[in-house]
Structure formats: C-alpha cells, structure tokens
Amino acid sequence: MVITSVKNERIKELVKLKDKKYRDKMGLFFIEGLDIIDEAYKSGVLKYIYVLDGYDNPYGDIPCIYVSYDVMKKISDMESISEYYGVCEKIDNDKVGDRVIILDGIQDPGNLGTIIRSAVAFNFDTVVISKNSVSIYNPKVLRSTKGMIFNINIVVCELDNFIDKMDDYLIYGTDVVSGIDVREMEVSKKMAIVIGNEGSGISKEVHDKCDKFLYIDMNDKCESLNAGVAASIIMYEVNRR
C-alpha cells in the first residue's frame, strides 16, 4: 500500500516530529537521505522508514511505509525531495567517555553539525551540549553531521551541574586573551575542551570551572576563527599527538 494523502495518520506523525515538544514526548526524531539513515541503521536506532513509491526498502528487518511523490514533497525540508525518511529513537543520554567536547551555547546549526562530524574524525567519544544550544535534532544539524551523530555519545544538559561531576577530567577552555598555545597543550587520558557561543564565547559560570585555557596562534588582523573551525583544530591537535 502506498500513502497518497498528507492527512494519513503516519504522515501527520512524521510532520509533527518537526516540533521539538512532540519529539521530546515521543522520544523520536526523523532524518532524511539514505547516507544518514544508513548510519542510524548501523547504530541500531532506526525504528521505521518512509520510502518514495518506486524505490526499495534497503533494510529487510525495518518496517517500511511507502509514500507518493506529492506526499514526500510536502514532508521534505530541503529544496530537492528525499527518497527516504527514517524515524529514530532519540540518542542523547548521559554516557560520557574519556575525550569530551563541551559546547556552551552554539547557535549555528552548521557549526554544531560540523563539530560532531570532526569529533568522530578526531577520536573524541562524547559531545556535551548546553540546553541553550541549537537542537541536535534540527534537520540542518543532522545533515551537517553526515551521519556521524550516530557514532558518538551525545549528552544535552545544564553544563554548570554536569561539569561539577567531571572532577577527574582536565578541562580546557578557549580564550584568546590568556592561556597556552594549542601546539603546546598537555594531553591527558581524560580530557574535555569547552567551545563557547559564536558571539559571546564561554559563559562566566562555565569559564570559572575550566582548569586551563587554550588559544590558537593567528595573524593579528583576524580576531577569531569560526567556532566549528576552532573546535576542529583543537580536536585535530589532541589527536595529532
């Protein structure tokens, strides 16, 4: 059977998942495009899949709902339509590994997605995200991660309380004014890097909880780097050793 009406209950449910409150209530979120769905499948969180009529369900063990072109078009968030949507169980929990990147108020979806992608690339195992950051379930964030969000621990929390419990970690803040050149940073078994908001940097409360500070040496003409780039370079440097 192919669903041809946007009034169908399954379609209404999918569209409602664009809303944060409904996502939280259901403990579900949706993703689009086969690349990212494939990563969700491999990590075991894919619950079911919506497939454009005429295409195959690549996963025999995942329930599949076939949908007409017109319905797919109405669902799609992008200019071009996707042939596949996946619905997944929410992935944030409270698991923390040894290499942690902490994000304090990141607002740009592209930056958050890019940082998650780079974190996996450079062998960080955990991304801790403040509640006032952009949602990890924002479609643009998910697209920018290129599916890497399913390969890392994701914690969304109030940073203040959370960092208090990380007392056996070496916690580095970033600060252009004071601190250690990132090329000379000390790498310890359990460590965390804090990246602040794009405009205002790290909040005072979190700044006070950092053990040391890092800066990236750069030309005086340039005041700062893009937050996604700065985070990626520091993680690259940790992984470089």
**Residues near a second copy, by CB under 8 A:** 110, 114, 117-118, 120-123, 144, 146, 148, 151, 183, 216-219, 221-226, 228-229, 232-233, 236, 239-240
Shortest distance, position 183 Cβ to a second copy, whole Å: 6
User: Judged by CB, which is closer to a second copy: 177, or 222?
Assistant: 222
User: Judged by CB, which is closer to a second copy: 64, or 233?
Assistant: 233
Tokens of 50: 């919506």
Query: At residue 80, what are phi and psi to the nearest 5 degrees?
Result: -90, 150
The three-class DSSP label of residue 102 is: strand
User: Judged by CB, which is closer to a second copy: 114, or 133?
Assistant: 114
- First and final C-alpha spacing in the chain: 55
Shortest distance, position 60 Cβ to a second copy, whole Å: 24
Shortest distance, position 162 Cβ to a second copy, whole Å: 25
Shortest distance, position 234 Cβ to a second copy, whole Å: 10
Q: Residue with structure tokens 């005072």?
A: 204
User: Judged by CB, which is closer to a second copy: 18, or 140?
Assistant: 140
- 78 in Cβ contact with 32 (< 8 Å): yes
Residue type, 210: C
Shortest distance, position 13 Cβ to a second copy, whole Å: 30
User: Judged by CB, which is closer to a second copy: 68, or 239?
Assistant: 239
- Residue 120: name the closest of 90, 93, 154 by CA: 154
Query: How far apart (Å, rounded) are the C-alpha atoms in residues 154 and 42?
Result: 17
Let me know how long the chain is. 241
Coarse DSSP helix, strand, coil percentages of the chain, rounded to the nearest 5 percent:
35, 25, 40
Shortest distance, position 1 Cβ to a second copy, whole Å: 35
Query: At residue 228, what are phi and psi to the nearest 5 degrees?
Result: -65, -40
Shortest distance, position 139 Cβ to a second copy, whole Å: 16
User: Judged by CB, which is closer to a second copy: 52, or 152?
Assistant: 152
- Alpha carbon separation from 172 to 52, 90, 234 (Å, rounded): 47, 29, 10
User: Judged by CB, which is closer to a second copy: 68, or 138?
Assistant: 138
